Structure 1
Amino acid sequence: MSQQIKNKVARLHGLHKLLQQNVVTLLEIQQYYKQEGLQKSMRQIHRDLHEVMLLLAPTEQMASHYVGKTKYYQIHRDTPLDKAVEFSEAVHLQTNFYVPKWNDIDLTQLQLIKDAIKTGHVIQIGKLKNDETGDNFSFTTKQIQLIPVSIITHRNSYFVGGYNTKEKVVVFYSIRQLVNLKTLPLKCTPASYQKMVQLELNARFGITKNINSEQYTIRIEVANVVSEFLQNHNWHPSQQFIKKRGKTTLLLNCGINRELMGWLLQWMYNIKIIEPPALKSYFEKTLQEITAVHTAKKTLVYRNIFNSERV
């Protein structure tokens, strides 16, 4: 990582912390930068505000409001309802949707990873099973040495985010993909990779690997009833909803991956992709693949059309 990129990441993390703790204007952000020895134009500050959304945690949202003609910015943090309000066991029911079936091996591996992060040790993965995130699309059976950095909770499942020392890339694996996991006597500094892991996670929609390194401006027109539901949930740190002339548009800034496609298909005929063209092409290709399987034109086997730019 070049010094220029390191400086930029440090600047964005500083802005992220400022917005977590304060309600600020553009002028106040500029003054904060000056205190840090940085001279930044208003145009650059606007770009920083856009890019800092890549650092937002799943429970955070960028918020803004006007007082008169002055615009204020702040990062809001959501509190789960069941933690804000106490429920008794008699009235609190739960569906089985996305509730994983854990076993003792899963719990042991999760504890091993937590300990490795805490003590700063590299872990070795004997083999990976299947491909839950796209980071094992080639179904490699080789041993992997990983600097474990974070435990990520996604759809009620646990994933490890870390740095693949051989491929020199950030990867995410489900806990249940890991076979013959062990801690190596190799020291590492997980904290120094935290920014890289957070940036990569926020560049993805969910946790699935993107088709490339590009971040797309995504515009989705959403039917009004569905838009109300979507606005009441967090999907991605960059999400914004714009209502104009009776139409609601969802704006996202992230990569394209199969998790995004599955999410769009969930809303069936109540959404319409406006841009980018690449997402439209993948959407059409996915519908063609679905039709081909259901009309017996293709044998039902596992396939992933999102592992590279193929559309």
Structure 2
Amino acid sequence: MKHIDRLNRLMGLLKEGPQTVDTIDQYFGGELTPRQIRRLIDALELIGFDRKEFESTGRANKKTWHIKSSPYERNTQRLLRGVLPRVFSIKRQELVEKLVGKLDVAIDSSHFYETEAHRKLDENLEIIATAIDSSRKLKINNISGDSTSIGNSINFPIDVLPISIRYHRGCFYLVSVLHEKVQPSVVTFQVDQLSLTITDKSFERQDYVELVESALKYRFGISQNIDGEVYDIRLRFSSTTGEFVKNQFWHDEMNTPQRNGDGWIIEFQCGINRELVGWLFQWMSNVKVLAPPKLVDLYNEQLDLMLKLRGHTDDDPLEYTNRFAPQV
């Protein structure tokens, strides 16, 4: 093992709590002598560690080393480890432990709704991050699934300008710009659904950052909007459900929730997309769409489609429908 790797691993171990020669020796599998361990301790400043934040007690081989930190700092580190997505805690476990220490079972995540940590996700994240850093275009050869409601608006293969990676509802998304037409458009893709490669074509990423921020500002979540309009969304929630919904972050343009009789009125300004309608259905009979009329109609249309399923047998196939693809 390289010297710098040992230092990084030792740093991660010390972040977990006080360590002795014996515990450090055990961590490295008995491959280091006490003298080598002390030399590693002395060399920690080589990786930018401030010795003022480091303390030792005891003498010779009985020393205990630990990092000075407040309970708040230690608990912040434990919380950070606990909420990391599965793709990091599984595919990049060794590196994560170097950076923030081992997982603390007392603080854990359910990982509910997260993408499975398979190899394709990890590989695609690397490809996209590399393309962003080098400002090179990506070629998307194909896509499996349609989690962001692209519909038939894009024909593959296609070149896109990668701007950022966004983590949303347990999944990683490529935020990109499609510039095949006169007017560039912001398109999002779920990372693990893509078959892609880096091209040798470069672009100026900074030229498109403002465009992307402006477009995402008026999306509910990450999905494509059905059109270019921004709507005044107005919803009425039942009292108990509203108490929960009003305290969660849903959108940048969400107004202060208002008490209305025995319920709550929640308003925000954004486009209409499949994600918004799907979000409404999770509240079941505890929400009513008040405005705009277009959202009322789309919501009722989905209600009618679901009611029709009551007449289907268990063997009747379900046909994929997407009434929220961008109108091109």
TM-score, scaled to structure 2: 0.64
Q: What are the residue-to-residue correspondences of 1:194-209 with 2, within 5 Å?
A: 194-209=209-224
Please tell me the residue identity of whatever aligns with 2:160: L
Q: Which residue in 2 is equivalent to 1:25?
A: none
Q: What are the residue-to-residue correspondences of 1:124-139 with 2, within 5 Å?
A: 124-135=139-150, 137-138=151-152
CA 1:295/1:238 → structure 2, altered by over 3 Å: closer, same or farther?
same
Q: Which residue in 1 is equivalent to 2:276?
A: 260
Q: Which residue in 2 is equivalent to 1:277?
A: 293
CA 1:226/1:83 → structure 2, altered by over 3 Å: closer, same or farther?
farther
Which digits, 9 at most, give the CA deviation of each residue in 1:188-215, with x for residues without a partner? 0112111111121121111111111111
Please tell me the residue identity of whatever aligns with 1:150: S
Shift in Å at residue 258 of structure 1?
1.1
Q: Which residue in 2 is equivalent to 1:185?
A: 200
TM-score, scaled to structure 1: 0.67
Please tell me the residue identity of whatever aligns with 2:170: N
Q: For residues 104 and 299 of structure 1, what CA distance do their matches in structure 2 show?
A: 31
Question: In the alignment, is the contact (CA less than 8 A) between 2:165 and 2:172 conserved in 1?
Answer: yes
Q: What are the residue-to-residue correspondences of 1:72-111 with 2, within 5 Å?
A: 83=76, 86=79, 89-111=104-126
Question: In the alignment, is the contact (CA less than 8 A) between 1:293 and 1:300 conserved in 2?
Answer: no
Q: Which residue in 1 is equivalent to 2:174?
A: 160
Q: Which residue in 2 is equivalent to 1:224?
A: 239
Question: In the alignment, is the contact (CA less than 8 A) between 1:293 and 1:299 conserved in 2?
Answer: no
Which digits, 9 at most, give the CA deviation of each residue in 1:67-103, with x for residues without a partner? xxxxxxxxxxxxxxx8487478232243242021122
Q: Which residue in 2 is equivalent to 1:118?
A: 133
SS of residue paired to 2:137: strand
1:143 and 2:161 matched: no
CA 1:234/1:153 → structure 2, altered by over 3 Å: closer, same or farther?
same
Question: In the alignment, is the contact (CA less than 8 A) between 1:128 and 1:139 conserved in 2?
Answer: no
Equivalent pairs counted in the alignment come to 227
Identity %: 27
Q: For residues 107 and 308 of structure 1, what CA distance do their matches in structure 2 show?
A: 29
Shift in Å at residue 138 of structure 1?
1.5
SS of residue paired to 2:175: strand
Q: Which residue in 1 is equivalent to 2:31?
A: none
- Structure with greater Cα Rg: 2
SS of residue paired to 1:186: strand
Q: What are the residue-to-residue correspondences of 1:165-180 with 2, within 5 Å?
A: 165-167=179-181, 168-179=184-195
Partner residue of 2:230 out of 215, 229, 244: 215
Task: Specify every segment of 5 or more residues in structure 2 that has no aligned partner in the other structure, as ranges.
Answer: 1-74, 83-102
Q: What are the residue-to-residue correspondences of 1:291-302 with 2, within 5 Å?
A: 291-296=307-312, 299-302=317-320
Shift in Å at residue 252 of structure 1?
1.1
Q: For residues 281 and 199 of structure 2, what CA distance do their matches in structure 1 show?
A: 42
Shift in Å at residue 147 of structure 1?
0.6
Question: In the alignment, is the contact (CA less than 8 A) between 2:78 and 2:107 conserved in 1?
Answer: no
